Amino acid sequence: MKKAKGTIGILTGGGDVPGLNPAIRAVTIRALIEGYRVVGIRRGWEGLVSLIREKGADNSLYIQELTREAVNKVGRSGGTFLHTSRTRPSHVPKLNVPIHLRDKYNDDINDLTDDVIANLEFLKIDYLIPIGGDDTLSYSVHLMKKGFKVVAIPKTMDNDVPGTDYCIGFSTAVTRTIQMTHSLRTTAGSHERFLVIEVFGRYAGFTALLPTMAGAANRCVIPECPFDLNLLAELLVKDRYSNPSRYSVVLVSEGAKIKGGDMVFESLEMDSYGHKKLGGIGDTVSAGLKALSPKYNDNRLINTVSQRLGYLVRCGDPDALDSIVPMAYGNLALDLILKGRYGRLVGLRKGMYDDVPLDIVTSYKKAVDVGKYYNTERLRPSYKSFESKPLLIMTSDV
């Protein structure tokens, strides 16, 4: 049997999105063709935290040998067959430390990075390809600075990883948002109501802005710009009057804030990256619009339809872009490994495939450029010309 050039490890971290399995497939097929062995690390960083470094230990919960047969069929499906977690190895709470490591780590918060590196060496992994958002990739930077060879692939529905115009999962989220918003119009129109739809977007409003630009909604409110609820009510009443079916639509990013208020959380419990679970701003906005509607509607109340899209936009199969881009990203990652270039993030910049230093993901926060792309007085996208602009004009940060 021909000896492999080396071993490549792949993991997926954070929330699932359509497009992860196509990326895993692309990496695996290309790597095998080039003569590498490929190991799937299951449950994200948790797999590298929980592995038992003993000969004969059953690590099947955390490690999977990847072959053409393992990835070919599943590569057409949504989610991640390697599974995922929100584990942060540098900040593991005492209760989450694996049992076999509890004698070694017993602080309230523990950094298990030394064991992660030891586990990578135990598995004889030479190169690691993590697929994730800014949280997952921020730990990749930490690992890179420890000397491990990392090439990363960006994914997140929010599309907020710095250094790339596009993250895996974004197109499907936008596509589903447009489809579902248009479907919900039948109910809003039948009852002549405001339609309030809450979409993903903790710190960046791209998932609300682009569907609105595409005609899915009359207005949108985004995390980058706290909004006046009175202004939104006034605008939606006007939009409703101009619509023969007497309804109007607003998309609300989950991280949006009413002026003078804060984010709305479903739970105060924080994950390992310090994030509380968002959820509920749509219902808050809906109730506020209903209460304010008589002020702008001749003292007549306007009822609302409030819907949180949530996991409906992240489940199921990937759309065309989230089938094509992951294939390209996987091959780009292998190109970098073959060239001996590590500590890189693959991505799209102004419509061209490219790569940038991995530590860009921790250098700044990517968000909507409000001055360029958001009209704060009209609460909707702002654009003057599409000439010579990137495909997804508002997501480019270069």
Could you report the per-residue pLDDT of 3-56, keeping only the tens digit for each? Answer: 679 999 999 999 999 999 999 999 999 999 999 999 999 999 999 999 999 988
Q: Which two tokens stand for residue 381?
A: 């996208």
Q: In sequence order, what DSSP letters do the residues of 124-141 get, joined into one string? A: T--EEEEEE-HHHHHHHH
Q: What tokens appear for 372 in the block?
A: 């360029």
Instruction: Say which of 158, 160, 322, 359 is annotated catalytic.
Output: 158
pLDDT of residue 351: 86
For 201, the token pair is 């977007």
Give CATH 3.40.50.460 domain extents, the chain. Answer: 172-313+370-395
HSE toward the beta carbon, residue 320, CA cutoff 13 A: 0
End-to-end alpha-carbon separation of the chain, Å? 47
Q: Where are the beta strands (DSSP E) in 243-367?
A: 248-253, 265-270, 276-278, 304-308, 344-349, 352-357
**Is residue 271 pLDDT above 60, yes or no?**
yes
Characterize the bridge pairing of strands 127-132 and 151-154.
Answer: parallel
pLDDT digits (tens, 9 = 90+) for 148-200: 999 999 999 999 999 999 999 999 999 999 999 999 999 999 999 999 999 99
Q: Cα(198)–Cα(219) distance, rounded to whole angstroms?
A: 12
Sheet holding 304-308, edge to edge: 219-221, 248-253, 194-199, 304-308
* CATH number assigned to the domain covering 172-313+370-395: 3.40.50.460
**pLDDT tens sequence across 296-310:** 999 999 999 999 999
> Tokens at residue 35, please?
């003569």
pLDDT tier at 69 (50, 70, 90 boundaries)? very high
Catalytic residue list contains 16: no
For the stretch 208-264, pLDDT in tens is 999 999 999 999 999 999 999 999 999 999 999 999 999 999 999 999 999 998 888
CATH architecture, domain defined by 7-168+316-362: 3-Layer(aba) Sandwich (3.40)
Residues of each domain in the chain carrying CATH 3.40.50.450: 7-168+316-362
pTM over cut 0.85: yes
Determine the Cα–Cα distance for residues 154 and 166; give it in Å rounded to an integer.
8
Three state DSSP letters for 383-394: CCCCCCCCCCHH
